[in-house]
Structures are given as C-alpha cells and as structure tokens.
A and B are shown apart, each in its own frame.
Chain A
C-alpha cells in the first residue's frame, strides 16, 4: 500500500470508528430486542407490559398504532431494567432526589404526594357522611399518614397532619368518630413502622395504631406480649423499589403476628367478582415467594373479602378500605365474629347489591392519606 494512502486511512480512522460505533449501537440493540423472547409481565417493575400493537387502517388513523408501537418497543427494549437502574443511579449522582415520583431519602424511599385535590376529597367526605346517616351504623374513619410525613422533611411535601385534621373536621355526621393514627406513629417514628422500599406500613406500625385507637371503638387491645412474631421474609422489595429499581436501600422484612391465645379465623371468603374462593387462613404464604410479598396479608386487593372467626361475640364489622387495611385487619379479628372488607375501587355496582348493612354493627373507613386524597371511588357509596 502506498504510504500516502496509509497515512490517509490512519487519519480517517477515528472518524471510521465514530461511524461504525454509531451504526453498531443503533443496529445491534434493536436486533437483540427483536430476537429475544418477550415477557408479558414485569415482576420487578410490578406491572403488565404493553402488548404487540395491532395494525389496521383505523388504528393508524387514530394514532393508537403508533402510540402502542412506541410503548411496546420501550417495554420490551433489550435490557430494559438495567437501563432504568442506570438512569436512577445517574439521576441520584446528579443530585436529584426524586425518581419517578419517589424520594430517595437517606436509608429509605418514600412516595411523593401530589398536592391535594379538594374537589375529590370533599366528594369522599360527603359520601361518608351520607353513608353514615342512611345506614345508621356507628362509623369510624381512620386516615393513616404515609411515610413521607415522617421521613422526608427536607423535600417538598404535603403536610399530611394538617390535611387529615381538615378532613376530620369536615366529617361531621352524628355517628362519625375519627381515629387518630398520626400521634402514635409520630412518637414511634424511630421504630420500623413503615417499609423502606414499599409505600405500606409495617405490621408493627399497624399494631401501634391498633393498640391506641381501638379504645375509641369500644375495644381493649390485645397486649404486645400475647403475640408470637414470625419474620416471614427478609428480602422484600416493594412498590417504591419497582418505581425506581434503586438497589441502594436495604430490603424490607415482613413480620406476621400470631396471637398466642384468643379467637381463630374460621374462614376467609374472597369474592373476586367472578366467583367466590374460600380459604382457611388470612395469610397467603405463596406470595412470600413472589415479588409482591405484601399480598401475604389477605391476598391481593379484591372487591369483597369476608372473614369469619370463632369468636362468641356477635359483633360484626364492615371495613371500607384500601390496602393499608390488609396488614391491620388481623388485629381486629380478635374482637369480631365477622369482618367484611369492601374495596370500592373494584366495586362497580351499588354497595347494597354486595352487602346488607343491617348485618353489621360498625363500619370502619380505613385509608392511607395518599389514596384518600386521590381516590374517586369512595363517592360511589352515594349512588
């Protein structure tokens, strides 16, 4: 080869490299994406992945084909979770603390709350007031602050204490009694009362609240010494982890409290909307082997769950709730012969087609603040 040609090639080599690197990246990644097998559900992200788009004249014209293709491609992009992990790391390095709606705050993650939508809240409040009036049931409302209230003071956040107090003030029905979960949680915030990687409270957090608030419901709580505590899992990575895929936070532990004496659960009937399944235990240990370990408490959220115990008393409780109740209910089981939980998010018929309120003595509304402030389903009680 002539020396001048050689020299020219040497000079052009970096540009050749640029060219081939670029083409390498933009061809190899999509090829791998196309070749590799596709999953339907991402366990680590805890969500269903997009399905392949359907091509048709109308789906092209209304752009749904394009939108679906884009989300399908992104959801199945080769090494998706590793890309997300890398992005989270880089964002934290740049000084950001909020990743995908989650604050990474020291040794834990907390959910960032949206500013309250008072329109939503006031509709829920009036639905509860009306429900209490029409059914005549003794009504208890407990709104539990989320962990952002205690562990995220340097980040912009909603003042949940203030907001909960405002809501409680509006719950003016004659039979409505509000329960204060905040105080006991606040004075025990050094303890392990919220998960570090999940938006729920721990069994301990739930116990603290149970042991101080149930007096208002006419109940004397079971004392701490009367429980055997099982550490059911120590590698729980919850919903906040799924949103960030940040590995820098220690995994969580799930505890189950078994009373040493007292009443036992006889049956748990889960009405899925398609049928009814009956179980002997409230704890669904199979979930401990999956990513979704919090569902060990009563299984995943279902429209109606009916729990019967061998208690001799005739007390029956109706609970209208979100998933915070799932860890709380076992404590209440000691005091009732029957508890029915309604999750209004999954009920699309008038509530009296599902339950008869005359069967119950009391109703408890149990929500965390985040759900309560956003949920547009509580108002369905008014229909």
Chain B
C-alpha cells in the first residue's frame, strides 16, 4: 500500500489509528506488527513471507548473541548468519537477474535464473501467477533488510541492548510508516521508544502537520511536475529542443525530490502520531554548495547507514589516502547499486564517488572560496546531470538525452517547449521555492512576531491541504511509486 492513496488515507489509517489509540500500551506493538504485515501484504501478498523470514532470523540471531555474550566466536557466527541472510535475500530478489544477465552477456551464456526456474515450478503446482521471465523485486526489500541488519550489527558492536520480545522486534521491522520507502530507521534510533513511548495529542498534532506537508509535496508538487517529465521522457530525443530537454530533466529533478522527501515526511509524521521520533531524511539538498554536502542532505539515513556499516568497517579514512579513496569508490558503487540493479545505477554512484573524491582532494577548498551562488549552481547542475543517468532507460538513451540538452536537434526552443513552460510555470515556481528554506524562514519570521496567527491558522490550512490532495487522489491518472527498483 502507498500513503498517497485513498485506501491508505481513508480506510487503513483511521482504522489502525483508532485501534491503536484505544488499546492499552501492552498490545500497541502487536497492533503495529499486525497492521505492518497487512500494509506490506496489501502490495506483496506473497513476498511478505520474505520480510517475516528476515525478521525471525534477525530476532533469533540477536537472542543467541545475547546468550553467548562472553563467547566472541559464537557472537560472530550469529552476526554472519544475519548479515549473510539479509545480503542473500537482496542478492536473490534484487540482484540475481542483473548478475546472471551480466555473466551471460560477458561469457555469451544462457543461464536461466534459478529463482525464475523455481517460480515456474511453483506455478505448475499452485498456479500463483509468479513471474516466469524475471525476478519480481519485493517492494521495500532494500529498506527492511538494511534496517534489520542495523540491529544485529549494532548488537554485535555492543552499541545497543538485545530486544527479547519478538513482538517488539517485529513491530520495529514492520513499522508501517517507514517500511516501503524509508527513512532507514536504525534500531538504535528507536530502541527506547519501541519498548515504551509517550503518545499524546500534542505530538500527534505535530505528526499530522508533517504528514500533511509530505502528502502535499507528493500529490500536488511531485505528481504534477512528474507528468511533464513523463511526457518529455517519451519523446524522441533527437528531435526535442534544448529548452524541452532541460525542462524535462528539471521536472524530474523536482519530482524525485518532492516525491522522496514527501514520502519521508509522511513517514516521520505518521511515526510521530504513533509516538516515534524518526531521523530526518532530507535537509534542502538542492541548496548544497558542494556535491559532498548534497549527499549529507539527501537521503541522509542511507548515507549514514553506508558510512557506519560499510565505510567505517572498511577502515574509513584511517588507513592512508589510497585506502580511503578505494573505500570511497566501493561505498559509492554500492550506493549506486542500492538504487537499482543495473549498470546505469553503478555508473551513477561512481559518478558521484569520483566528484566527491575530487572535492575531497582539494577542489572543495576552492569551492568554499567561490561566491555561494556559483557553488550552489555547480552542485545543482552536477546533480541534474546525475538524474539524467539515473532515470533514462539505458546508456544509449542517456547519451542521446545529454546530446539533446546541448543542442543535438539544432533547435533551441520550439512550440512544444513554449507550451510546456506556459502550462507548468506556476508549478515550477512552487517547486523552486519549495526546494529552498524560504518558506521556513518566512514562517519563523511571522512566528516571532505573531505566534498565535501561525498556530491558529495551521489546523485550517491542514484541512484545506488534505481536501485538495483528496481531490487529486480521487481521479488520479498519474500517481506513481518511484522506488520499486530500490
């Protein structure tokens, strides 16, 4: 299920919240667990078993790690089992097609993916309609496996305490606000709240405000600007004008930001309504003055996950410059691969890895001395180029798109481009302003002068926004879920 749907907003959410609020603290986690399973199974009625498997194994690994507290060898085995299982699930369900296709292409073989073979076998007995050509990626697998691993790794590192209650642990994994699109909440972040937490109207109201903000970002901004990208993406790149090409990729630049950060806001907001404080995931990334800074402000929980569990495990920057650079390359190739299993994403990750290395070995110092609009523009444009790599179908069409952006068709602006500008100018302006901290600044300025005005208008603005979003959802012709590859 996705948050930006009538089914979630008007059936799932009210039922779950009412049950959650009226039930005693003891069974609140059970409600979270059951509702999370239902939420996930709504989109993945079969693959929900994969999530349950991952939960049971990691819970058990934790229990054993605790039991053999003084036997380092056995603790290590527990960790290896947990990590191997999660990475294994990812390898099978996310990367197997990519790996086998690549091997087949290099060695000119025709190996059939064993998962596909298994699907065919199961279908022949139960007729479940499993995919017989490719492996279907279970939604959110990259999120819940990473979350689940953070528990066993941190437990191994003795950063956290063991979770003895299965219901509590599984409610952490299946906590529906963050299960399919992040933020990647580490066990460490919620370890206190998972056992006991305050739930009150005050915090719920804050959560509602954040949730509605996220919903509006997704439904009003991301979906509307996304329509523009969808139509330009489908055009013939050798014929589109320069302006059309730039409008298209800028549209995607804003779509992915408002979609993704909107999802994170909705998750954080829902978390607060339930009594959890999730980490922030986005901090106006398009205002960054260097690419390194961009990645500290974009999908922050993913960056910190890779830093804590991969970069530092590899030795980080403590083993000399060469090792540091190698470590960075590994982390960025993996970051790219995390976003989708194809070479596009690997190259996209390495692209950022290389820029970050260049910034690190000296260019960053120069950037700091430049006027801030120059360094912001530099960062923004490199990120936009990155999105071309990220969202065009394959490498040839990516190159063609770059050509179009730099005049491949020989036409600077045409009728289509003018139409796209006129019909999307307002939404573009809103997106540009919304990517900066301008609204926040204005808000806090008014707040400092007249706090009551902001406080009292908030509930009314929220009602208006949720009603407007509803009208866009009732007849939603375009409401995509962008993270099915993650």
Name A residues whose Cβ lies closer than 8 Å to a Cβ of B.
12, 14-19, 21-23, 25-27, 29-30, 33, 60-63, 66, 69-70, 73-74, 77, 80, 83-84, 86-87, 90, 94-98, 100, 154-156
Min distance, Cβ B476 to any Cβ of chain A, angstroms: 8
- Closest-by-CB residue of A relative to B454 is A14
The proximity string for B residues 465-480 relative to A, scoring 1 for CB distances below 8 Å and 0 otherwise, is: 0111011111111000
Q: How far is the CA of A87 from the CA of B468 in the complex (A)?
A: 8
Q: When chains A and B are docked, how far (Å) is the Cα of A100 from the Cα of B476?
A: 9
Chain B, 126-158, contact with A by CB distance < 8 Å: what is the 0/1 string? 001100000000000000000000000000000
Asked if B471 contacts A86 (CB within 8 A), the reply is yes
Interface contact A12-B463, CB-CB below 8 Å: no
B7 closest partner in A (C-beta): A70
The answer on a CB contact under 8 Å between A21 and B459 is yes
Q: In the complex, A95 Cα to B424 Cα: how many Å?
A: 6
Q: Is the CB of B6 within 8 A of A73?
A: yes
Contact A100/B477 with A12-B202, A18-B208, A83-B470 known, Cβ cut-off 8 Å: yes
- Interface presence of B438 (CB below 8 A): no
Residues of B within 8 A of A87 (CB): 471-472, 474-475
Quick one: closest A residue to B430, CB to CB? A94
| Cβ distance A176 to chain B, nearest Cβ, rounded Å | 31
* A residues in contact with B224, CB < 8 Å: 94, 96
Contact between A22 and B462 (Cβ–Cβ < 8 Å)?
yes
User: Which residue on chain B has the smallest CB distance to residue A27?
Assistant: B14
For the complex with contacts A14-B456, A66-B43, A84-B471, 7 further pairs of A-B residues with Cβ separation under 8 Å are: A21-B460, A26-B9, A63-B43, A73-B10, A73-B11, A84-B475, A96-B423
Cβ distance A147 to chain B, nearest Cβ, rounded Å:
18
Chain B residues contacting A61 (CB-CB under 8 Å) are 45-46, 128-129
> Could you give, for residues 107-127 of chain B, a 1 whenever the CB lies within 8 Å of some chain A CB and a 0 otherwise?
000000000000000000000
B42 adjacent to chain A (CB < 8 Å): yes
Q: Is B361 an interface residue (CB 8 A)?
A: no
* A26 & B13 in contact (Cβ 8 Å cutoff): yes
Please measure, in the bound complex, the distance between the C-alpha atom of A83 and the C-alpha atom of B415, giving whole angstroms: 32
A16 CA to B467 CA in the complex, in Å?
19
- Residues in A with CB closer than 8 Å to B363 are none
Q: How far is the CA of A84 from the CA of B212 in the complex (A)?
A: 20
Residues of B within 8 A of A90 (CB): 468, 471-472
Is there contact, CB below 8 Å, between A70 and B209? no
Listed in ascending order, the chain B residues whose CB lies under 8 Å from chain A are: 5-7, 9-11, 13-14, 17-18, 42-43, 45-46, 128-129, 201-202, 204-206, 208-209, 212, 224, 415-416, 418-419, 422-427, 455-456, 458-460, 462-463, 466-468, 470-477
A18 to chain B: which residues have CB within 8 Å? 205, 208-209, 458-459, 462
The CA of A90 and the CA of B463, in the complex, are separated in Å by: 16
Q: Which residue of A lies closest to B427 (CB)?
A: A94
**With the chains together, A86 CA to B418 CA distance in Å?**
26
Q: What are the residues of chain B within 8 A of A23 when measuring CB–CB?
A: 14, 17
Residue in chain A with minimal CB distance to B9: A26
Q: B474 is contacted by which of A80, A95, A154 (Cβ under 8 Å)?
A: A80
Across the interface, name the chain A residue whose C-beta is closest to B211.
Answer: A22
Across chains A and B, which 9 residue pairs bring their CB atoms closest together, nearest first?
Answer: A15-B205, A83-B474, A17-B459, A18-B205, A18-B459, A30-B10, A14-B455, A83-B471, A87-B471
B-side contacts of A33, CB under 8 Å: 10
Q: Which single residue of chain A is at the shortest CB-CB distance from B231?
A: A156
**CA of A61 to CA of B43, assembled, Å:** 10
Q: How far does the alpha carbon of A331 sit from the alpha carbon of B472 in the complex, in Å?
A: 44
A sample of 12 cross-chain residue pairs with beta-carbon separation below 8 angstroms, ordered by A number, consists of A18-B208, A61-B129, A63-B43, A66-B42, A70-B6, A73-B11, A74-B474, A80-B475, A83-B475, A84-B474, A95-B427, A154-B415
Which residue in A15, A16, A63 is a CB contact (below 8 Å) of B45?
A63
Contact: B201 with A15, CB < 8 Å?
Answer: yes
CB distance from B119 to the nearest CB of A (A): 13
Give Cα A98–Cα B13 distance, bound, in whole angstroms. 33
- A25 near B415: Cβ-Cβ < 8 Å: no
Considering the complex, give the chain B residue whose CB is closest to the CB of A70: B7
A116 CB to closest chain B CB (Å) equals: 13
User: For A27, what are the chain B residues with a Cβ–Cβ distance below 8 Å?
Assistant: 14, 18
B251 CB → nearest A CB, Å? 13
Are B128 and A62 in contact, CB atoms less than 8 angstroms apart? yes
Q: How far is the CA of A22 from the CA of B9 in the complex (A)?
A: 11
Return the contact of A19 from the options B5, B201, B466, B467 (Cβ within 8 A).
Answer: B201
Most-contacted residue by chain A among B13, B202, B205 (CB, 10 A): B205
Chain B nearest CB: distance from A148 CB in Å? 13
Given the known interface contacts A21-B463, A66-B42, the answer about A98 and B6 at a Cβ–Cβ threshold of 8 Å is no
Q: For B459, give its contact among A14, A29, A62 (CB under 8 Å).
A: A14
Whole-angstrom CA separation of A62 from B136 in the bound complex:
13
Using Cβ atoms and an 8 Å threshold, which residues of chain B touch A70?
A: 5-7
B418: chain A residues at CB < 8 Å are 154
Contact A21 B6 (CB under 8 A): no
Q: Inside 8 A of B10's CB, which chain A residues have their CB? A: 26, 29-30, 33, 73, 77
| Interchain CA distance A70-B43 in the complex, whole Å | 12
Shortest C-beta distance, A110 to chain B (Å), equals: 14
Q: Please give, as numbers and ranges, the residues of chain A lying within 8 Å of B43 by CB-CB distance.
A: 63, 66
In the bound assembly, the distance between CA atoms of A355 and B394 in angstroms comes to 50
**Inter-chain contact B128/A15, CB cutoff 8 Å:** no
On whether A95 and B477 interact (CB within 8 A), knowing A12-B201, A73-B11, the answer reads no
Q: Which residues of A contact B7 (CB under 8 A)?
A: 69-70, 73
Known: A84-B474, A95-B423, A98-B423. A14 touches B458 (CB 8 A): yes
